[in-house]
């Protein structure tokens, strides 16, 4: 797990399972605001730090990898607000490394230097270079965990119709490994790990695709997981069991909630191409603590597996104002994060 690049006055560094883990705010959904403003809000609400997104004006990986003054400026802004940083996140450009097709969706979200002339293979290659730069930027900034996506050349086959041969799927995992191993070589050189968020549209999106992804990389140590249960809730996965089974791979934790709405016989799990917060959807992301996620079970399992890294709130709720939701989510997570394991068994007194 990462140690913070800037340590607030009340923190002394890495948490242990017997201490409350730092609670951070992921800035991806706040990238429309200046970085200084997000820092001000997070500090006033009581967050320990930020999981900084590499878009908007929050963190430019190219500048951070080459400009010490820029890195110091980012650190100074955090320090002035009493905030730490345990990870940076570069979800958007990462998506283009393996995706097929590459289209207007990518042009609208990747860095313009990654899009270039829009030639699909050129976009993929430039996205890979952006990730290598991200590893160097993380090292320069003083964090050792980068969170993000991988993209996938086989996601569009998820329905398995028209019929898809086994070799096509196997080729997709080989494509992923061929593209990501050189990226991970740079992560190794920098002493930084990549935490992949298990998520639909990525190479690993559920339990068995996570197994296949790790196998494709031959369980390379540099490649771990960002645990976000919100994507597992609507898929019907055992996300607490997932934490247990992949405990040695959990590098980072995001808290995002999901509410299921499939009980009327009309709404479907695939949500019918409907916009967020439409009541005809089968599920929606919702402010942490207001959905169907079994958060207490998650935190008890985090204690059991000895996870001591940051807990990051990824706030998403199309039906709630974020300025009200983010501080409420922090209060909810703080209470669960305080479930510190006892030093002795509760029934030890009976043995006396």
pLDDT digits (tens, 9 = 90+) for 305-317: 999 999 999 999 9
Q: Which domains does the chain have, with CATH numbers?
A: 23-344 (3.20.20.150)
Burial 253-282 (b: 16+ CB within 10 A, else e): bbbbbbbbbeeeeebeeebeeeeeeeeebb
Q: Give the percent of the chain with pLDDT over 90.
A: 89
pLDDT over threshold 50, residue 18: no
285 contacts 329 by C-beta, under 8 angstroms? no
Contact 213, 194 (CB under 8 A): no
**Is 266 a residue whose pLDDT tops 60?**
yes
Listed residue (62, 68, 67) closest to 90, CA to CA: 62
305 SS3 class: helix
pLDDT (0 to 100) of residue 349: 66
Helix (H) or strand (E) holding 223: strand 223-227
The mean of the pLDDT values for the chain is 93
Dihedral pair phi/psi, residue 64, rounded to 5°: -65, -35
State CA 227 to chain mean position distance. Answer: 7
What is the reported pTM? 0.93
Give the H or E element holding residue 93: helix 91-94
pLDDT of residue 7: 42
pLDDT digits (tens, 9 = 90+) for 44-97: 999 999 999 999 999 999 999 999 999 999 999 999 999 999 999 999 999 999
**Region 317-333 average pLDDT:** 98
Residue 245, pLDDT > 80, answer yes
User: In the 8-state DSSP scheme, what is residue 30?
Assistant: G
């Amino acid at each position: 797990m990462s140690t913070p690049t800037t340590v607030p006055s009340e923190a002394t560094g890495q948490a242990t399972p017997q201490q409350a883990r730092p609670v951070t705010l992921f800035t991806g959904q706040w990238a429309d605001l200046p970085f200084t403003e997000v820092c001000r809000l997070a500090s006033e609400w009581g967050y320990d730090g930020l999981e900084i997104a590499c878009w908007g004006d929050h963190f430019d990986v190219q500048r951070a990898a080459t400009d010490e003054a820029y890195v110091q400026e980012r650190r100074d802004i955090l320090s002035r607000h009493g905030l730490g940083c345990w990870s940076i996140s570069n979800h958007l450009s990462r998506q283009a490394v393996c995706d097929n097709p590459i289209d207007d969706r990518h042009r609208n979200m990747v860095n313009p230097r990654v899009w270039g002339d829009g030639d699909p293979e050129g976009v993929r290659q430039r996205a890979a270079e952006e990730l290598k730069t991200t590893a160097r930027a993380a090292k320069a900034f003083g964090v050792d965990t980068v969170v993000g996506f991988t993209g996938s050349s086989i996601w569009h086959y998820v329905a398995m119709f028209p019929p898809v041969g086994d070799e096509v799927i196997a080729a997709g995992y080989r494509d992923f490994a061929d593209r990501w191993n050189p990226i991970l070589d740079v992560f190794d050189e920098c002493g930084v790990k990549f935490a992949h968020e298990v998520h639909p549209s990525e190479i690993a999106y559920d339990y068995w695709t996570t197994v296949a992804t790790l196998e494709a990389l031959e369980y390379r140590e540099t490649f771990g997981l960002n645990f976000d249960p919100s994507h597992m809730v609507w898929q019907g996965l055992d996300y607490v069991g997932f934490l247990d089974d992949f405990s040695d791979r959990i590098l980072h934790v995001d808290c995002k909630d999901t509410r299921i709405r499939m009980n009327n016989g009309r709404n479907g799990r695939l949500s019918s191409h409907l916009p967020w917060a439409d009541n005809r959807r089968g599920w929606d992301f919702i402010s942490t603590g207001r959905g169907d996620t079994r958060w207490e079970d998650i935190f008890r399992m985090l204690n059991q597996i000895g996870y001591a890294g940051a807990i990051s709130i990824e706030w998403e709720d199309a039906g709630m104002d974020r300025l009200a939701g983010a501080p409420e989510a922090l209060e909810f997570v703080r209470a669960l994060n305080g479930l510190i394991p006892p030093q002795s068994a509760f029934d030890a007194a009976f043995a006396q």
